[in-house]
Amino acid sequence: MTRRETLELVRAYFTIADPKVRDQVLALAKSLAAPK
């Protein structure tokens, strides 16, 4: 978690007010990071 991009992503994630949208963003990030 020392990479600048990681911190930016976390900060942006927590600025999302709608919990449903946060859940969708989390699901998207997980699907993009999933091994193929």
pLDDT tens digits, one per residue of 1-36: 568 998 999 999 999 999 999 999 999 999 998 776
Encoded tokens for 21:
């949208």
- Is the pTM value of this prediction over 0.85? no
Task: Give the pLDDT confidence score for residue 2 in this predicted structure.
Answer: 67
